[in-house]
Structure 1
């Protein structure tokens, strides 16, 4: 091996490092995890082989070193999942065990008891990502200057593993969490954080990079006094909102003839449409399945591209009400009554699609992704006979939303682009600016002027929509560890959580 080999290798690997980090490349962490060991291995081999007469001895040292490193990771250090959304590994000592929360009773002692009366300023938010599933919340009727009017922490509790958010109805806050080998749907008192009831299923989803537990936020059907919750392994539960008692449950993946379970766990929230609840399928097979809420009867199945990690939404597009679904390999519009496919946009990609479709205008929808898959502004048109067709207005590399979804305000989309906030011109698909390291968190829009960002590191930021620059106006240190869960704003009551704790704030009234 030539004497200039270390210099050449260092310059080569160093150049790749600089390029990966300067471009915020989607695979920068994975590349670094491969390049660093490869670099050290090649340097060690060069050291062992480049001097004649010492090769055998140095190869022995090299072998001992490899054995020591193997033993270190076998007996001393363990992989503890992803440190963040870039897949950078988190390492821990093997004797450090995560805190094990106690199991909850299937029904709390006072299950069925009424919660504390709805607190002042609170409002129902019965589903994931706003009333319509589009990430749109009302304009703030609360103080936006958090320095002068700091949010009041109402309660803080420990919760089990999982990446679900909260839904709120009638003074109850509902989420999903994992404790041991049981997957729970839990109901807490909005005003106090006290557990009202808990429903448990013998199910546990555990994926090395994404972590443990359920991912989907429950949906509340006030008309039927029911909670619909989809577990990480595809178990759809219909529970009584008052008591948590089960009414029926269905294996959605089995009903959707899924030939492959979702690699990262089901994260899609159920959609209520009239008397039915709509759930998405696995990575392959049927796309959507509709069940009658009253008794769990399967009403229809539709689509053939499988589901994704994006929840179906009900929207009026091109003058027709329809279910819009981002799937494993396509985006489709469906008739709510029958599930019939009204239009289909082919959008194949090996990596997961997580974004919620964002309606830009009466006939345009923005769908975004990452992992090298381009975002598209879709236009849906109906002819005189009512037949619908879809086309892409533009295709762009921005924004690159891995776990989150874009927010449309005016003629711009605001999104977390590989962990950095950005603004995209909807007319062209070009990025206007990119600033603010919020990590792989979540966001919602508030009226026509504001965005609430749940940062991956746990803090919450209030951002004013400004196509000229990032304008952060307030920050709240709500949580202190990795947070992928979506925030919930129920009137002036803000609920955020991660896989360790949940906290509720009251925002000061104007």
Structure 2
């Protein structure tokens, strides 16, 4: 097996809240999924020698974000074996895209836990395996979706390679599920959400596109809803890597679900489609997660030329409408963040933008420098932007 390492660090003041009060960072982008961190007093600078409490090497590779509960910090990782040349050539022929690929043999897909105070390794658990995995993009990993923590259970998603649930105290695997198969093309990216007794995840491949819910206690399929919007003729433009958000809109819980070319709303209990809205521009390989305030939804259409949409939901249950559209310097990968009446985002090339959330008018724009994939966070009244080189702008 390949034992490449991922480095997990606890920083006094970084946007991963490893040192704030316990049990309030259960999923990607925090408790409400919108990137707001509680607490105060975070340092504004750190380095290899300043304001670093501990650093721990994690076996394997992964892009998932840590989740925190009490003294436990969890992250997912993938350890791979070399692929035979025969299988390598067969997979290269099967790929219909032109992206740079990572091709591997067997996969061990894992959940790793470290002590919050010391960084000491507590658990390293094999959640599931894949003996013949599809390829992933070279900048992606097989452990990119972030897990979810709830009531002593860790819910892990590895896309088409499988999902699983782990008891956080014993480290035992409670269930696994390998039914949700699609062709990602670039590897997994959609993180799950927990709502009631359901584990809900996007499955937007080049071949099939649907949203599915598993019973969080058993891992059995609860519902599965195909995407109903018209799809592009090119299969490569049908895929997406978005993460849903459950929000209270129009007097009910709605599962906001960005897919290729369409934003959907579903009843999270049943998977019934409530409405859908076309982006009116090419939008695929969706990564950014929507943010919500009042009756407004804010999202990026991602690839190829991202548009930021301000979408107003009808309180009476009518069709939502695009209230405004901003088509300059939008992000393909980072999610936006809402602070009061201001919407902030940074695009992949490092241009940070602030818009009036009510009107979409530009407040300011600034070039930060470097390339970006991480989503910004808010902590103690300050925004944190992290580029791919490990530099943070506050």
TM over 0.5: yes
Does structure 1 conserve the Cα–Cα contact (< 8 Å) formed by 2:140 and 2:187? no
| Change in CA separation of 1:159 and 1:205 when aligned onto 2, cut-off 3 Å | farther
Instruction: Determine the structure 2 residue equivalent to 1:250.
Output: 177
Instruction: Determine the structure 1 residue equivalent to 2:193.
Output: 271
Does residue 380 (structure 1) correspond to residue 306 (structure 2)? The answer is no
Instruction: Determine the structure 2 residue equivalent to 1:356.
Output: 289
Does structure 2 conserve the Cα–Cα contact (< 8 Å) formed by 1:330 and 1:346? yes
| Change in CA separation of 1:130 and 1:209 when aligned onto 2, cut-off 3 Å | same
Alpha-carbon separation, structure 1, partners of 2:343 and 2:323:
15
SS of match in other structure, 1:439: coil
Does residue 221 (structure 1) correspond to residue 150 (structure 2)? The answer is yes
SS of match in other structure, 1:233: helix
Q: Tell me the number of residue pairs that the alignment of Structure 1 and Structure 2 aligns.
A: 336
Among 329, 333, 339, the alignment partner of 2:271 is: 339
Instruction: Determine the structure 2 residue equivalent to 1:445.
Output: 377
TM (norm. structure 2) is 0.77
Gaps of 5+ in 2: 6-17, 82-107, 229-237
SS of match in other structure, 1:382: coil
Alpha-carbon separation, structure 2, partners of 1:127 and 1:320:
22
* Cα deviation, residue 458, structure 1: 0.9
Among 248, 261, 268, the alignment partner of 1:329 is: 261
Higher radius of gyration, 1 or 2: 1
Higher helix proportion (structure 1 or 2): 1
Does residue 426 (structure 1) correspond to residue 357 (structure 2)? The answer is yes
Alpha-carbon separation, structure 2, partners of 1:307 and 1:333:
18
Instruction: Determine the structure 2 residue equivalent to 1:131.
Output: 31
- Pairwise mapping of residues 52-451 of structure 1 onto structure 2 (< 5 A)? 100-101=2-3, 121-124=20-23, 125-138=25-38, 140-146=39-45, 151-181=51-81, 182-200=108-126, 201-203=128-130, 204=133, 206-222=135-151, 225-254=152-181, 258=182, 261-283=183-205, 285-304=208-227, 308-347=240-279, 349=282, 351-359=284-292, 361-368=293-300, 369-383=302-316, 387-420=317-350, 421-431=352-362, 432-446=364-378, 449-451=381-383
| Change in CA separation of 1:216 and 1:443 when aligned onto 2, cut-off 3 Å | same
Does structure 1 conserve the Cα–Cα contact (< 8 Å) formed by 2:283 and 2:303? no
Measured against aligned partners, the alpha-carbon deviations of 1:432-485 in whole angstroms (never above 9, x if no partner) come to: 3122114213233325832122221012332xxxxxxxxxxxxxxxxxxxxxxx
Alpha-carbon separation, structure 2, partners of 1:206 and 1:188:
29
Gaps of 5+ in 1: 1-98, 104-118, 463-510
SS of match in other structure, 2:268: coil
Alpha-carbon separation, structure 2, partners of 1:444 and 1:208:
23
Higher relative contact order, structure no. (Cα contacts within 8 Å, ≥ 6 residues apart): 1
Alpha-carbon separation, structure 1, partners of 2:60 and 2:144:
12
| Change in CA separation of 1:459 and 1:418 when aligned onto 2, cut-off 3 Å | closer
TM (norm. structure 1) is 0.61
Superposed CA RMSD in Å reads 2.7
Measured against aligned partners, the alpha-carbon deviations of 1:302-349 in whole angstroms (never above 9, x if no partner) come to: 242587312111111233221111112311111122121111112363
Does structure 2 conserve the Cα–Cα contact (< 8 Å) formed by 1:205 and 1:213? no
Alpha-carbon separation, structure 2, partners of 1:253 and 1:205:
14
Alpha-carbon separation, structure 2, partners of 1:423 and 1:409:
10
Alpha-carbon separation, structure 2, partners of 1:321 and 1:277:
15
Does structure 2 conserve the Cα–Cα contact (< 8 Å) formed by 1:357 and 1:366? yes
Alpha-carbon separation, structure 2, partners of 1:295 and 1:233:
18
